[in-house]
């Protein structure tokens, strides 16, 4: 807990305070249950300490930057032996509401306070040797930036240009303000391209009329920030906006964070990491594409930025708007039950129809090429005849086609025709993926997407010496080749991490698409989300089935959302009644519920169906889960570690009717980079029961570990709350 024993942590009487020692407790980015105490020499530092100050202190034989979480006049340790704080960062203390947030996050996600907050502070502020000149440097950079600000009007749709649906939504948002006051959670649910962005930007305009107000606008991916950034700039040319995500330079991020936490920046646009920024005048939050899995941090403290944002809004008594065409089941159920307001936009902004859905049954010979067909590809291709004809028609109509395949590289595995050798990764329980020359290195290579291992392609089978090696399966590069061969006159662009690394980032690739220089786009999920394309007539999904059946109970929910989202990239600019483009899905299982609900654009139907399933199976969001991850030299050790934990919990009486603990199992990808991994699922219908169990587990494991590595078995462990993949 963050606390202070002084009547006030701020502005106390310096003279009076000097009579007693001043002790501060400081936390670091380490899995320590507690912080360390230091003496505060107010005369030397020139200020009294405040909770939320960033300081440099001696730690072990070195020095470290940490956060003050307690100010007091005594210590449980011998005061004479305490070391002193070296320096205070030239920053205001973090806002008290921010401290409440990290306090909550630290308890909820069972991580130390230091581990929760310090990773969110930009490196620039953790290098104390730069503190001396940091503010001058920022001033210079700010002046330079202010000069370069160009006026843009992209995507600006003012209040009076909103269509009647949007107006109604905006009116509801603004009118309910008086009614609800304080905290409100609102789901803005609307078809893809229905103009949700325009609605929430106009809503923020209302909030930003208060000069000091700050608003936080969260987006799931870096790739989505440039387009939204331009739109926000168009709406609020006078307001200072900062962008916070991991893709900007450390210096830029350091300055942006400073402007946000000092209240100078009024609009904070960022990815999940921005959700943990101190914002003293925070007045409203928007979570765009709230269903997106990217809001969940996947290493260290595995928090959900969306969930923390909701907690924060509640704590501050401010509104939070969750926007999506495909809400997560959690959010949708909360809106259905009336816990959240539900505001809907059920028509596309300019009146275009929704894209027509075509399910191509790949088992039906009519959809496939027969030998001798005109235009049949030379190599076996993923593109069916039915899809090829549709693409040709779309090209003729001068529209762009978007083809999604969720696998980068040329082919997911290389194999030997004679002995069935497969290109396994030596460090992981996966295969190395074949990449074409020019994608990772100059030569064609084998690359493991889990550990990064890179190997040259053998000329002969390493097992039997046979020279006849062939690729199995398809990745974006193979598909790109096939398309170039089938439509030699079309300009084809591949969009995946590899191609964006080679160009000037993904933004340059998206720019090419927007400028209309591309006819066919082949890409991974990177192309599926939130982009506002203007001329896509056709979307095709080639490997949807691979995600249809999975051990993970959320697989169908994720696939459905992705299909609706990618379909929604088509036909966006169409006006009244105009055709809204089409989506073609190649599948062997056209009858499966995911596809059937999609066929009718029935998002609510699909969610109701899924909610039913989860209720029957008592799975989240109808129950709560946590995972204990374990990884070690061998799978046996990891499993044994988890089994011992389970036995301990049983002996302690933690396992009750209220709390279910499954048996430890290997992870879906069991071995990564030489470590073998297992997991234990813990489940309860009751959040509090789960919380208490996790605290017992954390205490027990910590007691027997150094950091998060077990002293006896050397197994590394981690607790994850609300996992999104099992
Ligand atoms: N009132 C309007 N008049 C004309 N065009 C509009 C209007 N509102 C939105 N648009 C345009 O319609 C397109 C879709 O709008 P927007 O991006 O706001 O939709 P969205 O619902 O946020 O989309 P998605 O969820 O699919 O990302 C944009 O190009 C936008 O400029
Ligand atoms: Zn590997």
Same domain, 604 and 634: no
At 7, is the pLDDT very low, low, confident or very high (cuts 50, 70, 90)?
very low
**CATH number, residue 516:** 3.40.50.300
Q: Of 132, 163, 181, which marks where a domain is finished? A: 132
| SS3 labels along 311-363 | HHHHHHCCEEEEEECCCCHHHHHHHHCCCCEEEEECCCCCECCCCEEEEEECC
What's the rounded mean pLDDT across residues 615-642? 96
Residue 3: predicted pLDDT: 55
pLDDT at 349 over 70: yes
Q: What angle do CA 191, 518, 490 make, to 5 degrees?
A: 120
Supply the ipTM of this predicted assembly.
Answer: 0.96
Pocket test for ligand 1, best of 170, 197, 535, 561 (most atoms within 8 A of CB): 197
> Which of 554, 558, 545 is CA-nearest to residue 592?
545
Do 354 and 191 touch, CB atoms closer than 8 A? yes
Do 625 and 723 touch, CB atoms closer than 8 A? yes
Global pTM exceeds 0.90:
yes
The DSSP line for 141-172 is HHHHHHHT-----TT---GGGS-HHHHHHHHH
Same domain, 391 and 537: yes
Residue 500: predicted pLDDT: 86
Atom of ligand 1 nearest to the CA of 190: 21
Pocket test for ligand 1, best of 160, 161, 193 (most atoms within 8 A of CB): 193
C-alpha span between 30 and 111 (Å, rounded): 9
Same domain, 38 and 60: yes
Give the tens place of pLDDT for each residue, 109-137.
Answer: 999 999 999 999 999 999 988 898 888 88
Q: Of 345, 377, 399, which marks where a domain is finished? A: 345
Domain count, the chain: 5
C-alpha span between 360 and 366 (Å, rounded): 10
Give the tens place of pLDDT for each residue, 644-696.
Answer: 999 999 999 888 889 999 999 999 899 999 999 999 999 999 999 999 999 99
Do 685 and 658 touch, CB atoms closer than 8 A? yes
C-alpha span between 106 and 190 (Å, rounded): 34
Give the tens place of pLDDT for each residue, 389-437.
Answer: 999 999 999 999 999 999 999 999 999 989 989 999 999 999 999 999 9
Give the tens place of pLDDT for each residue, 163-211.
Answer: 999 999 999 999 866 665 689 999 999 988 899 999 999 999 999 999 9
Residue 150: predicted pLDDT: 67
C-alpha span between 328 and 293 (Å, rounded): 9
What domain range is 168 assigned to?
Answer: 154-345
225 lines ligand 1 (CB under 6 A): no
pLDDT at 641 over 90: yes
Q: Which residues are annotated as a binding site?
A: 416, 419, 425, 428, 448, 451, 461, 464
C-alpha span between 444 and 462 (Å, rounded): 17
Residue 8: predicted pLDDT: 42
- Whether 514 is in a domain gets the answer yes
- Whether 144 is in a domain gets the answer no
What's the rounded mean pLDDT across residues 682-711? 95
Same domain, 206 and 338: yes
pLDDT at 703 over 50: yes
Same domain, 333 and 198: yes
Q: Mean pLDDT for the chain?
A: 91
Of all ligands present, the nearest one to the C-alpha of 188 is 1
**CATH number, residue 115:** 3.40.1440.60
> Which of 721, 711, 524 is CA-nearest to residue 625?
721
Residue 153: predicted pLDDT: 79
Residues 6 or more apart whose Cβ sits within 8 Å of residue 54: 65, 66, 67, 68, 88, 89, 91, 121, 125, 126
- Whether 104 is in a domain gets the answer yes
- DSSP β-ladder status, 3-4 and 23-27: unpaired
pLDDT at 16 over 70: no
Same domain, 180 and 112: no
- Whether 295 is in a domain gets the answer yes
Same domain, 169 and 311: yes
Consecutive H or E run containing 282: strand 282-288
C-alpha span between 503 and 234 (Å, rounded): 27
**Radius of gyration, CA atoms only, the chain:** 28
Query: Phi/psi of residue 221, each to 5°?
Result: -135, 145
Q: What angle do CA 67, 311, 182 make, to 5 degrees?
A: 115
Same domain, 520 and 645: no
- Whether 139 is in a domain gets the answer no
**CATH number, residue 692:** 3.30.70.600
Q: Of 446, 473, 500, which marks where a domain is finished? A: 473
Q: What angle do CA 290, 291, 295 make, to 5 degrees?
A: 70
Atom of ligand 1 nearest to the CA of 530: 27
Give the tens place of pLDDT for each residue, 503-530.
Answer: 777 888 998 999 998 999 999 988 888 7
Same domain, 526 and 466: no
Same domain, 286 and 337: yes
532 lines ligand 1 (CB under 6 A): yes
> Which of 662, 557, 648, 566 is CA-nearest to residue 603?
557
- Whether 568 is in a domain gets the answer yes
Do 583 and 358 touch, CB atoms closer than 8 A? yes
- Whether 85 is in a domain gets the answer yes
Same domain, 24 and 98: yes
Residue closest via CA to ligand 1's atom 27 equals: 530
Give the tens place of pLDDT for each residue, 258-309.
Answer: 999 999 999 999 999 999 999 999 999 999 999 999 999 988 899 999 999 9
Give start and end residues of each alpha helix (H) in 600-714. Answer: 603-617, 635-651, 687-703
Same domain, 119 and 205: no
Do 471 and 478 touch, CB atoms closer than 8 A? yes
- Whether 147 is in a domain gets the answer no
What's the rounded mean pLDDT across residues 79-95? 95
193 lines ligand 1 (CB under 6 A): yes
Give the tens place of pLDDT for each residue, 528-571.
Answer: 887 888 899 999 999 899 888 888 899 999 999 999 999 999 88
Atom of ligand 1 nearest to the CA of 162: 1
Residue 15: predicted pLDDT: 55
At 369, is the pLDDT very low, low, confident or very high (cuts 50, 70, 90)?
confident
Per cent of the chain over pLDDT 70 is 96
């Amino acid at each position: 807990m963050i606390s202070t024993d002084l009547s006030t942590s701020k502005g106390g009487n310096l003279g009076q305070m000097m009579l007693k020692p001043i002790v501060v407790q400081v936390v670091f980015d380490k899995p320590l249950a507690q912080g360390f105490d230091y003496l505060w020499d107010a005369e030397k530092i020139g200020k009294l300490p405040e909770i939320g100050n960033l300081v440099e202190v001696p730690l072990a034989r070195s020095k470290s930057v940490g956060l003050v979480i307690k100010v007091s006049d005594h210590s449980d340790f011998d005061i004479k032996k305490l070391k002193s704080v070296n320096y205070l960062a030239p920053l205001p203390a973090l806002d008290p509401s921010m401290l409440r947030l990290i306090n909550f996050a630290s308890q909820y996600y069972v991580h130390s306070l230091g581990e929760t907050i310090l990773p969110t502070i930009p490196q620039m502020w953790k290098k104390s040797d730069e503190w001396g000149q940091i503010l001058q440097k920022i001033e210079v950079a700010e002046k330079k930036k202010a000069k370069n600000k160009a006026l843009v009007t992209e995507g600006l749709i003012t209040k009076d240009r909103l269509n009647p649906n949007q107006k109604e939504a905006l009116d509801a948002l603004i009118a309910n303000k008086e009614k609800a006051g304080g905290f409100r959670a609102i789901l803005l649910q609307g078809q893809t391209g229905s103009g949700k962005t325009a609605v929430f930007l106009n809503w923020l305009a209302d909030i930003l009329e208060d000069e000091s107000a700050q608003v936080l606008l969260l987006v799931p991916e870096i790739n989505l920030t440039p387009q939204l950034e331009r739109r926000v700039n168009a709406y609020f040319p006078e307001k200072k906006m900062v962008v916070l995500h991991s893709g900007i330079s450390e210096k830029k991020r350091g300055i942006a964070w400073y402007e946000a936490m000092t209240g100078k920046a009024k609009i904070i646009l960022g990815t999940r990491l921005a959700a943990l920024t101190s914002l003293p005048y925070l007045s409203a939050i928007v979570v765009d594409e709230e269903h997106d899995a990217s809001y969940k941090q996947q290493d260290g403290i595995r928090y959900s930025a969306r969930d923390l944002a909701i907690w924060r809004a509640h704590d501050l008594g401010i509104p939070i708007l969750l926007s999506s065409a495909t809400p997560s089941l959690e959010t949708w159920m909360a809106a259905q039950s009336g816990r959240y307001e539900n505001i809907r936009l059920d028509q596309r902004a300019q009146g275009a129809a929704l894209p027509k859905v075509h399910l191509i049954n790949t088992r039906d010979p009519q959809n496939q090429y027969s030998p001798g067909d005109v235009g049949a590809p030379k190599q076996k291709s993923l593109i069916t005849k039915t899809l090829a004809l549709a693409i040709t028609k779309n090209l003729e109509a001068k529209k762009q086609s978007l083809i999604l395949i969720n696998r980068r590289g040329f082919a997911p595995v290389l194999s030997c025709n004679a002995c069935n050798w497969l290109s396994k990764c030596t460090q992981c329980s996966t295969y190395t993926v074949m990449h074409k020359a020019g994608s990772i290195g100059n030569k064609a290579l084998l690359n493991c997407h889990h550990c990064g291992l890179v190997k040259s392609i053998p000329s002969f089978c390493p097992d039997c010496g046979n020279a006849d090696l062939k690729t199995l399966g398809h990745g974006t590069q193979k598909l790109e080749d096939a398309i170039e061969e089938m439509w030699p006159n079309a300009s084809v662009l591949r969009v995946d991490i590899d191609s964006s690394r080679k160009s000037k980032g993904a933004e340059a690739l998206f720019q090419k698409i927007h400028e209309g220089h591309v006819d066919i786009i082949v890409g991974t999920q990177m192309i599926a989300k939130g982009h506002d394309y203007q001329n896509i007539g056709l979307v095709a999904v080639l490997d949807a089935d691979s995600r249809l059946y999975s051990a993970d109970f959320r697989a169908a929910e994720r696939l459905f959302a992705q299909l609706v989202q990618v379909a929604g990239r088509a036909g966006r600019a169409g006006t009244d009644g105009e055709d809204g483009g089409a989506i073609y899905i190649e599948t062997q299982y056209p009858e499966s519920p995911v596809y059937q609900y999609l066929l009718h654009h029935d998002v609510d139907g699909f969610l109701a169906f899924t909610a039913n399933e989860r209720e029957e199976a008592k799975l989240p969001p109808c129950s709560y889960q946590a995972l204990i991850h374990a990884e070690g030299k061998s799978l046996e050790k990891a499993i044994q570690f988890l089994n011992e934990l389970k036995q301990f919990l049983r002996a302690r009486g933690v396992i009750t009717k209220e709390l279910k603990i499954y048996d430890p199992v290997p992870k879906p990808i069991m071995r990564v980079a030489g470590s073998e991994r297992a997991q234990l699922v813990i489940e309860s219908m009751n959040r509090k029961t789960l919380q208490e169990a996790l605290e017992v587990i954390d205490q027990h494991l910590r007691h027997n570990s150094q950091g998060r590595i077990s002293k006896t078995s050397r197994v590394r462990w981690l607790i994850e709350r609300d996992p999104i993949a099992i």
